Each structure stands twice: as C-alpha cells, then as structure tokens.
Amino acid sequence: MPDGIIGNNFDKFLEKADRGFTLGERKKVNKVGDKVYEKAMQSFLDAHRRHVVYKDGTQHLADTLTHEIKEDGHYEIGFSKKGKKAYIARFLNDGWRPRNQFGGPYGIADPAEWNDFIARIGQQNDAKMGKAMARRAKKIMDEKAGGH
C-alpha cells in the first residue's frame, strides 16, 4: 500500500481513486477508521479514569464518549450533550490558567498526559486508521470489480 494513501486526506483519495463510491460505501470506509480512533480514545480515557462517585448520577468523562455519522459520510467523535463533560475534555486538552478570588494566577493547570490528547491520539493511530480504511476501500472496490 502506498504511504500517500495513509498520509493524505483519505476522502480525497477516495474521490480520486473511484468517483463511483456511493455515500453508503464512503460511510462504511469512514466507519472503520472511526472505530480505530474511538477504541484508542476510550482506552486513553479509561486508563485515566478516577474512581469517584459523582452526585446525582453525573457521568464520568470516559462514559460520555460518543460518535455520530454526518450526512456527507464522515464520522465525528466527541462527548455527549447529556453527559455535560465536553468542556472538561476541552480544559484537559488545552490546559487552562486558574485564577484566585483576587484575579491572580495560580499557574497553568496542564496535566502533561492530557496535553492535546485529542489530536495526539489521532496522530498516534493515523497509520492504523489509514490501513484499516484502505483495506475496507479495497474490499469494496474488489466487490464492485467482481460483481459480488
């Protein structure tokens, strides 16, 4: 498999490789990559889970991971609205500068293992996602060529 397929935007590859890909086929290919990323993200969140029982049944960040397929065929992974934890993921990902009651800083709260974790997990799994997506795309193309 050429590295260019994995290193470049996979949707652009699909458009160039076979303009006959249907939206349903594109969704199937994207879903394979989504599952790789989602599994890696869930593993990261579970590894950093605190054993805290929240009041009123509030969910832990790791329990609010969700995905959604968009009309154009791409998947989005995020945190559910119901869980109300997306802002915490953003704080952990970006770091933040807490202030005391007088407006003075305490210093940056930036746990190193959480720094830019959303992009980092994607980068760490890019090749794995690309290979899985390329295999699925090849299977679809083979089925089309073979008339299955």
Q: Which tens digits make up the pLDDT trace of 55-77?
A: 777 888 899 999 988 888 888 88
pLDDT digits (tens, 9 = 90+) for 5-35: 555 566 666 556 556 678 888 889 899 999 9
Nearest to 92 by CA among 38, 49, 134, 30: 49
pLDDT of residue 75: 84
Whole-model pTM: value is: 0.75
pLDDT digits (tens, 9 = 90+) for 101-132: 776 666 666 677 888 899 999 999 999 999 99
Q: Count of alpha carbons within 13 Å of 138, Cβ hemisphere only?
A: 9
pLDDT digits (tens, 9 = 90+) for 35-57: 999 999 999 999 988 887 777 77
> Which of these ranges, 1-5, 123-127, 137-141, has the smallest mean pLDDT?
1-5
Domain ranges of the chain: 8-138
Distant-in-sequence, close-in-space partners of 122: CB < 8 Å, separation ≥ 6: 37, 129
